[in-house]
Chain A
């Protein structure tokens, strides 16, 4: 069977859309439908993962499409690894939702699955999109169902507040992004990311302007702000703690990993392809270095004094965004490899942490640190998975987080723009972050709880947590393959830029002389 890589994302989205619509129809059949919905969505995600893997292996013909074509999609290694990561998170969340919402009526849980699949379609399309219009539509496809997911606990005021907050801020990010897109269209008259990069120098003839750099920079700023909001980078992080705390905890797992990962892919495309044009020669090293330092420092230090586990995890998510941005600031193949690799690891670590916390919070009824006391004696899998994922987030060997941080810090040391200071700040931050990660572990295992009754661990949660923990430990012991994938993805970017840009850059320099 041959599938054109230009069309591949459509097949993917089509299958999942079919699943989602079937689930919607199912919801009229009654309370038991939630189990069918869980089965269907799990099967859908698993199928999509297989589909992507087969495509990546060249089973359907050409592996990658020519990104400079007029296709709306870029089917390349970046799309594959991010797609698999996002689908994996969705799968993990889907496995736990029936158990987590055991006190919600069945048909509502069924619609939860429908919305989960809808938002996953959005994230996938966002990852694959190579056209600014497509990107914006996918962005909305990802966002709108996730507002509902955030406010899914209808009777919980915190959940409602979180949904409203998320909605308003997210609308702001959409608006800013759209502004950026419109400015780029103004400059170039085109919307395809891989074509704009060529058109930028010719933009002079399209608009007849000589001094368009300010407009381009303004657009860049708007893109940074729009993506920054979803990436939870300081100073666009303010909504994060409230939203993650108020939302159902398994939805926080989805928001903090799938949404963030899916935002990162187009952000890299826009920054490293579209804005790599010779006309700007934009040097955003300082910008991203500052954002990175702010995110790390604020996220990690604010987490120190928090009393709620979900808030700690939310701040940790901000801090981790800071690490990811190191790679963007450092740039180059190593920097991008580090960022990609860290996002992949972060997806499993953070979602595993949130899901394990979700199970405990559901059972003890509070996300307060003190209510986690002595949990280690009451259940087996959840605290173990939480400990593993927290230590991995803290960057301890032999867990996955260690290696990706290692590559990121190394990329800062290797960077041509002398970013050693950034690496050192990051390492100190990483040291500080241990304090609150270990604090949760201490509460779970070392402190005496006021109850010793055993808690129930349902199979859905168990399966999901064990799967995530296995990935964390496995990657930690043998990180080779994942690093290879990340390197491959980074290479596809760098070669694209170098081949199309080097000559133009030279020509522009000569021209300006």
Chain B
């Protein structure tokens, strides 16, 4: 059983170099090899889940001689469940890629990066200590940046790739410092050892608080929480399967996973939990608000991801279920978001447009895609009995018992969620078609994953209820059901009024009312954080850079003079300490 925990991430990583090699011989062979590798991974994932008994097992090999840091796999319910989920979803997405990427150039690069991406994410989930987690964390980051910039002919894609790379690095720095502090204090980064050391001498309250905050910042960077969210909406420039991977299976889940995994550390201090809740709630509301006004189909989905991840953070911060609610919502979000992206990708390949204003009336011509997108939106809004209903209402129910404010805010955000979901659905699939030609339904290889996900979204909760890896004992308050149904009804009502029955009035209202226009503009710009980061660069980094290179005059005489002056400086520095 334990070797499966090694194989699950080793298989995709080892198959990476074979992709370009097979690609030299046969293009088709390469594509199906990638599918095969991910299918094998998914199989191992299911095998692992099926053979898992209980408790926590570790297996390790010494990796670094310093402090005897090992490469180790940690097999417990959460890691196995998530690994199985990630490998399953990745398999569907790779399969979908075969259809979506047909005729694109540079596919060897694409499939190698995808497999490395998935392998690194699985390695991250199975990692038994923080150093190993960080190792894979960085690989995930690099792969995502290269995949986002995959279509490098487009300047926006290059920019988006670089942006994802740089912004997530902010979080990475924090995580790196946290890892170093833990290692310096405890001489180990093994999870169990960290948890057992919490509160004792070298790892007292202040250190725990510091490490917790740094870990939280790291998770925020990866999981695109405000204010480190700016990369995610732009990351839409990548191919749609990549977006699906980033949003549903890999990248953004890493941050949530980190917080779930380190939950004993976060729960040690109530301050930390409050911080996690605040970060989550803020992102939830801002993400949803931005999604409501966005006009790009994939951007809507991206902001929705930010919002959904915010819900996960908030549910961890509420802190009554040891992160189980977040795990559940992570899987649920992964399923319906993957479905939404795959359906959106199908729309984009068929029509060539991502702007919701340009699309419309696709319900008839793209039946399967329509069903897929419909189910995704229903699940996202939390319509029973789809999986989104269970995860979200469970979160609200548990929050009600401990943090009523958070519970009410999450329930209220459902209104916004329903609005943006159904707005996208109506604009794309209802109304009149604004396209010159009738679009064609996508190929079977793309429809199969979509339909599989439709089934998963519908019956996934049964499977999650059945499995015993992480025993979710879902209890939903009847009050919650009432609240969420009311939210969904009002959301659909608003969408119907605004975009279907009284479109003209809505538009004139939006056009006239100055605060509304300003709000809309502000939200469209992604809360203005881009501007702030630009300011930071042009006002602080650039002047420093210019000063630094100005010191470099290239005149030999000046150089010698400065060196002599430096000798003086050193005499001074040495004297300062000693004489």
**A–B: direct contact at CB < 8 Å:** yes
A403 to B66, CA, bound (A): 11
A291 to B548, CA, bound (A): 15
Which residues of A lie under 8 Å from residue B570 when comparing CB positions? 221, 224-225, 287, 291
| CB pair B578 A337 closer than 8 Å | no
| CB pair A221 B566 closer than 8 Å | no
Query: Does residue B542 face the partner (Cβ distance < 8 Å to A)?
Result: yes
Binary contact readout A276-303 vs B (1 if CB under 8 angstroms, 0 otherwise)? 0000111111110011000001100111
Which residues of A lie under 8 Å from residue B544 when comparing CB positions? 297, 301
Which residues of A lie under 8 Å from residue B548 when comparing CB positions? 297-298, 301-302
Contact residues of B between 131 and 169, Cβ < 8 Å to A: 131, 134-136, 138-139, 142, 149, 152-153, 158, 161-162, 165-166, 169
| CB pair A301 B184 closer than 8 Å | no
Query: Does residue A435 face the partner (Cβ distance < 8 Å to B)?
Result: yes
Query: Does residue A212 face the partner (Cβ distance < 8 Å to B)?
Result: no
Q: A235-B562, A434-B169 are in contact. Are A396 and B142 (CB under 8 A)?
A: yes
Query: Does residue A106 face the partner (Cβ distance < 8 Å to B)?
Result: no
| CB pair A414 B569 closer than 8 Å | no
Which residues of A lie under 8 Å from residue B181 when comparing CB positions? 413
Which residues of B lie under 8 Å from residue A291 when comparing CB positions? 570
Q: A169-B559, A409-B180, A431-B173 are in contact. Are A287 and B574 (CB under 8 A)?
A: yes
Binary contact readout B536-578 vs A (1 if CB under 8 angstroms, 0 otherwise)? 0000011011111101111010111011011101110111111
Which residues of A lie under 8 Å from residue B556 when comparing CB positions? 164-165, 168-169
Contact residues of A between 388 and 420, Cβ < 8 Å to B: 391, 396-398, 402-403, 406-407, 409-410, 413-414
Query: Does residue A480 face the partner (Cβ distance < 8 Å to B)?
Result: yes
Which residues of B lie under 8 Å from residue A448 when comparing CB positions? 153
| CB pair B552 A229 closer than 8 Å | no
**Nearest-CB residue, chain B, relative to A333:** B66
| CB pair B152 A176 closer than 8 Å | no
| CB pair B567 A442 closer than 8 Å | no
Binary contact readout B367-393 vs A (1 if CB under 8 angstroms, 0 otherwise)? 000000000000000000000000000
| CB pair B549 A446 closer than 8 Å | no
| CB pair B541 A238 closer than 8 Å | no
Binary contact readout B46-63 vs A (1 if CB under 8 angstroms, 0 otherwise)? 000000000000000011
Query: Does residue B85 face the partner (Cβ distance < 8 Å to A)?
Result: no
| CB pair A225 B567 closer than 8 Å | yes
Query: Does residue A214 face the partner (Cβ distance < 8 Å to B)?
Result: yes
Q: Which of B134, B166, B573, B576 has the most CB of A within 10 A?
A: B573
Query: Does residue B183 face the partner (Cβ distance < 8 Å to A)?
Result: yes
Query: Does residue B117 face the partner (Cβ distance < 8 Å to A)?
Result: no
Which residues of B lie under 8 Å from residue A229 when comparing CB positions? 563
Query: Does residue B65 face the partner (Cβ distance < 8 Å to A)?
Result: yes
**Nearest-CB residue, chain A, relative to B134:** A397
Partner of B549, one of A305, A337, A403, A487: A305
Q: A241-B552, A337-B66, A480-B62 are in contact. Are A438 and B162 (CB under 8 A)?
A: yes
B373 to chain A, nearest CB (A): 32
| CB pair A397 B139 closer than 8 Å | yes
Query: Does residue B479 face the partner (Cβ distance < 8 Å to A)?
Result: no
Contact residues of A between 204 and 245, Cβ < 8 Å to B: 213-214, 217-218, 220-222, 224-225, 229, 235-236, 238-239, 241-242
Which residues of A lie under 8 Å from residue B554 when comparing CB positions? 241-242
Q: A217-B571, A391-B142, A402-B138 are in contact. Are A280 and B578 (CB under 8 A)?
A: yes
Q: Which of B63, B136, B563 has the most CB of A within 10 A?
A: B563
Query: Does residue B579 face the partner (Cβ distance < 8 Å to A)?
Result: yes
| CB pair A172 B158 closer than 8 Å | no
Query: Does residue B462 face the partner (Cβ distance < 8 Å to A)?
Result: no
* Count of A-B residue pairs with CB < 8 Å: 162
| CB pair B577 A283 closer than 8 Å | yes
Q: A282-B578, A297-B548, A305-B549 are in contact. Are A403 and B64 (CB under 8 A)?
A: yes
Query: Does residue A199 face the partner (Cβ distance < 8 Å to B)?
Result: no
B417 to chain A, nearest CB (A): 35
Query: Does residue A313 face the partner (Cβ distance < 8 Å to B)?
Result: no
Which stretch, A6-14, A74-82, A422-430, touches the partner chain B?
A422-430
Partner of A284, one of B180, B560, B574: B574
Query: Does residue B435 face the partner (Cβ distance < 8 Å to A)?
Result: no
**Nearest-CB residue, chain A, relative to B543:** A301
Partner of A398, one of B135, B152, B153, B541: B135
Contact residues of B between 419 and 453, Cβ < 8 Å to A: none
| CB pair B64 A427 closer than 8 Å | no
A337 to B65, CA, bound (A): 11
| CB pair A432 B541 closer than 8 Å | yes
A224 to chain B, nearest CB (A): 6
Which residues of B lie under 8 Å from residue A480 when comparing CB positions? 62-65
A74 to B546, CA, bound (A): 44
**Nearest-CB residue, chain A, relative to B570:** A221
Partner of A217, one of B152, B165, B166, B575: B575
Q: A172-B560, A213-B579 are in contact. Are A286 and B573 (CB under 8 A)?
A: yes
Partner of B138, one of A164, A306, A396, A483: A396
A451 to B566, CA, bound (A): 47
| CB pair A220 B574 closer than 8 Å | yes
A428 to B544, CA, bound (A): 14
Contact residues of B between 456 and 504, Cβ < 8 Å to A: none
| CB pair B162 A442 closer than 8 Å | yes
Which residues of B lie under 8 Å from residue A428 when comparing CB positions? 173
A229 to B571, CA, bound (A): 16
A27 to chain B, nearest CB (A): 32
Contact residues of A between 459 and 488, Cβ < 8 Å to B: 478-480, 483-484, 487
The 8 A-B residue pairs with the shortest CB-CB distance in the complex, in nearest-first order: A302-B548, A235-B566, A413-B184, A238-B559, A304-B545, A446-B152, A302-B549, A301-B548
A-B contact pairs, 14 of them (CB 8 A): A169-B556, A221-B571, A221-B574, A225-B567, A241-B554, A287-B570, A302-B552, A397-B135, A397-B139, A406-B131, A431-B173, A442-B162, A479-B63, A483-B64
